Amino acid sequence: MAKVRVIARAQAVEGKAEELKAVLKQLVEPTRQEKGCIYYDLFASNLPGVLIFNEEWASAEDLQTHASTERMAQVQAQAAPFRLGATEVNILTIVE
């Protein structure tokens, strides 16, 4: 199975970056315990209100399981009032 790398980007509504960060941080530790999670980190960008998840998964199936968890659905719902639009999820393929 091929590893899967992901960069996910969330943009906060103006003035709501701290609220969005607090909600998204709820995902970090539990996700790191999920099957197939190699790493899962949340970063604040140098761009105002931009938060970035940097992830690596052992397989596409593990990523799909993560994306389908009840926890993910709950956090996405909690984040919605503080997030500008949907979270942009980029599944990366190495360029050789």
* pLDDT tens readout for residues 41-75: 999 999 999 999 999 999 999 999 999 999 999 99
Q: What is the mean pLDDT of the chain?
A: 96
Residue of 63, 69, 62 lying closest to 26 (CA atoms): 69
Percent of the chain residues topping a pLDDT of 70: 99
Q: Which domains does the chain have, with CATH numbers?
A: 4-92 (3.30.70.100)
pLDDT > 90? residue 14 = yes
Task: Report pLDDT for 9.
Answer: 98
What predicted TM-score, i.e. pTM, was given to this entire model?
A: 0.92
